[in-house]
Structure 1
């Protein structure tokens, strides 16, 4: 099932998500739906708040965009994740977001992370990632913390994109996928 992507301005995107209890929902089916939704929108990551669910779950698949030969591709679901460590040099990369179409800005993030999470079978993992994979995970992790990539840009850049963000929140944006707006007029 393909969900509509929740657009900037919807309160679920600014709310810290809740942990999932083991038998609370069919996690495998939801993960499958999230991958289908993400691929339909040509994304490399999708967090549950972006489909209107305020739960600590996100999926990533770096294969479609990651062209780093020496960096392994990842396709994983992260349930109830906790970033344990962020380290290394901060580096800039132009990020975008399915919930904020048409806007891309440089965001500085640490190059390495260590994260603890459960997979769809409720097996616990503690793993380290670096480079592009770490960036995608940090971006999606921010979503379950109620943080958007635009929260990381300078005050000057925020003023420059303020009008575009307001238009997105009003539904005045074009995307190649179905979107859900908080207050479309």
Structure 2
């Protein structure tokens, strides 16, 4: 009886792992990341190799023959229980895929490095450069221009954060665990200045 349970469990594992491999490869291929995203490709290959391994067990036990009969005899309850556990994990994974489907769109589990570079450049262009302009304006005693640059940088940062978190299925709490510091912890060591910062 244990080998029949092992056969069914191995079949479930084979199908689940093969589908996982396909669900990784297809988005990578569509977005042109098969060569540029080695982590995604390697993960898909691992699941594919596991699917082949468990599929081979299933076929051997189904077809029979010398190897198949020996495998049936060798398939003890501990092995069958291990296969049941593996099949349960595969099925559970697909229930999670349905729950977190928005995270699985495209190849977001294996985010394209080009997308990360684009986000870094956008932060640099939209936020950091605005802060640099604000600092220069303060140094040149141009408070109106500094306020304008700061307002633009804040709006850009807010838009970028909203875009990054917009598709999240989680209830994200953006409140800080500790208040943001508005003054430096240590007093400035330089000479005092009478210039007020607006």
TM normalised by structure 2 equals 0.22
Structure number with bigger Rg = 2
Structure with the largest fraction of strand: 1
Give TM-score scaled by structure 1 length: 0.24
Higher helix share goes to which structure? 2
- Bigger relative contact order (CA 8 A; separation at least 6): 1
